[in-house]
Amino acid sequence: MNYYNHVVVFICSVIYLFFIAYFLKESVNFILLAPCLLAIIFMAIYRFNYVLYIIFFITPLSIPISELGLDHLGLNFAFPTEPILFGLMLLTIWKLSYNFKQFRSIFKHPITLVLLFYLFWILITTFTSSMPLVSFKFFLNRVWYVLPLVFMGVFLFKKPNSISSFVLLYTIALTMVVSYTIIKHANFFFDKHSAHYMMSPFFNDHTSYGAMIAFFLPFNVALFYVHKNTWIRLLSLVMLLILSIGLILSFTRAAWISLFIAFIVFIFLRLKINRVLLFISPVVLSVMLLLFSGSIIKNLETNKQDSSDNLIEHISSMSNISTDASNMERINRWKCALKMFIEKPLYGWGPGTYQFQYSSFQLSKDRTIISSNFGDMGNAHSEYLSALCETGLIGFLSFFSLVLVIVIRAINMYYTANNRTDSIWLLAIVTALISYFIHGLLNNFLDTDKASVAIWCCVSILIAIDLLNNKKQPI
């Protein structure tokens, strides 16, 4: 190091120490995180992949800043995941602006095209929103996940063993959270009521917690079959056991049923059932459910089994729409979403506005003991109905089309996979995505970092594998 560099380092050190002393004097202890921030900025510029690996690991361990007592400005976000992703979004925009040619094949991919239209329509409905500031924050939230994880993620996931690294890092951290939750839950003798909040502060409630466990169970099975390292295979089995116990003790009925349906799809895929039959089956099933909906609802109303500590009774309560408060409140939210859509069918009420607008659409006969008179307790409990009432018919169709394109493309890629490793990962991705998108009928979590990182990374993996296997469109 020459004399000039010594002087620069000395001056920077003096400035840094001055700021440390000043802010500590003012009791602003967060200045101590400055070295970590500088290290992340350096890695983001020179080693972008390393920052993505950090994101994978810290996502299950992130907590809302409200838990740190820092939400006095009216903002609430997942710390440290979302601030880092916001910075990566800016860096991705910069990379796109000066070297767009590098991303051209990604932009031409069918999944990307539908994804871009989905984001475009969210932006359009942000301008027509009943609460523009809320909607802009929602749009920004979607973009800071999609840009770094999808567009930059493709370059990461084309590298050997990168998918294994993603699964390992996310699942190790998730297993830590599940272990913490199980130990904490044991103090309450694993009762159902306490299961709703034992995962705090890492997860808001047991439904998102159960959804993410169900999502990563297929990935752990795939990791066992893909990896040749004995210790990694053993670790995957241990994590599989802990996650399975966590899923059971989460008392999350939606996660159980979605994983069960995903497992049935897994069997069909594993048997390589004819794809035409596979794609037609859900359509036929939906038509049958619609035709016999009256009889089905009448039978469901006869079920009086409420949710319970007893697992068998708790499973039976899934179809109770007469007395189970959770199921009845979910129906209340769905009715509100449909009424909101009818009032504003084209542009909707604006992205992210449901929770602030639905209260006036509640009827007294639909309210339950867990309803809020102010409409301030959560979302529409459906990814699809949220899109419908917040972004209108076109927004719903864009989101539904995105789901269809992702799933159909993934299934087609699995059927045409040329090697064993790709085949195993694609089967895991399809199973995991099916579990989430089925769960999305009953809940919505894409506004959380836990689900968004997982879903958009899977989209990135699909695009990466597809482009790598398409010699006409090299990455």
Q: What is the per-residue pLDDT across 184-239, written as a single tens digit (0 to 9) for each?
A: 999 988 888 888 889 989 998 889 999 999 999 999 999 999 988 899 999 999 99
Residue 312: band (very low, low, confident or very high) from pLDDT cuts 50, 70, 90: low
Q: What is the mean pLDDT of residues 101-108?
A: 92
Query: Does residue 8 fall inside a structural domain?
Result: no
Kindly tell me if the per-residue pLDDT of 179 is higher than 50.
yes
**DSSP assignment letter at 194:** G
Query: Does residue 2 fall inside a structural domain?
Result: no
Q: 265-277: per-residue pLDDT in tens? A: 999 999 888 878 7
Q: What is the mean pLDDT of residues 159-179?
A: 95
Strand-pair partners of 79: 63
Query: Does residue 44 fall inside a structural domain?
Result: no
Q: By the 8 A CB rule, do 357 and 130 touch?
A: yes
User: If you search the block for the tokens 């359009």, which residue do you land on?
Assistant: 124
Q: By the 8 A CB rule, do 185 and 249 touch?
A: yes
Query: Does residue 37 fall inside a structural domain?
Result: no
Quote the domain boundaries for residue 186: 110-475
- Alpha-carbon distance 461 to 262, whole Å? 19
- Alpha-carbon distance 449 to 254, whole Å? 20
Query: Does residue 57 fall inside a structural domain?
Result: no
> What is the per-residue pLDDT for 266?
93
Query: Does residue 237 fall inside a structural domain?
Result: yes
Percent of the chain with pLDDT over 70: 78
Q: By the 8 A CB rule, do 217 and 265 touch?
A: no
- Alpha-carbon distance 265 to 271, whole Å? 10
**DSSP assignment letter at 369:** T
> Mapping DSSP to helix (H, G, I), strand (E, B) and coil, where does residue 345 land?
coil
The CB-side HSE value for 161 (13 A sphere, CA atoms) comes to: 6
What crossing angle do the helices spanning 81-98 and 48-58 adopt, rounded to 10°? 150
Q: Does residue 165 or residue 14 have the better pLDDT?
A: 165
Residue type, 423: S
Query: Does residue 89 fall inside a structural domain?
Result: no
79 phi and psi angles, rounded to 5 deg: -110, 135
- Alpha-carbon distance 140 to 90, whole Å? 11
> What is the per-residue pLDDT for 473?
43
- Alpha-carbon distance 173 to 178, whole Å? 9
Is the pTM of the predicted complex or chain greater than 0.75? yes
User: If you search the block for the tokens 């917690």, which residue do you land on?
Assistant: 209
Residue type, 270: R
Q: By the 8 A CB rule, do 103 and 116 touch?
A: no
Residue 284: band (very low, low, confident or very high) from pLDDT cuts 50, 70, 90: confident
Kindly tell me if the per-residue pLDDT of 244 is higher than 90.
yes
Point out the least confidently predicted range of 185-199, 297-311, 322-336: 297-311
Residue type, 323: T
Total domains, the chain? 1
Query: Does residue 6 fall inside a structural domain?
Result: no
Residue type, 250: S
Q: What is the mean pLDDT of residues 419-434?
A: 95
Radius of gyration of the chain (CA): 23
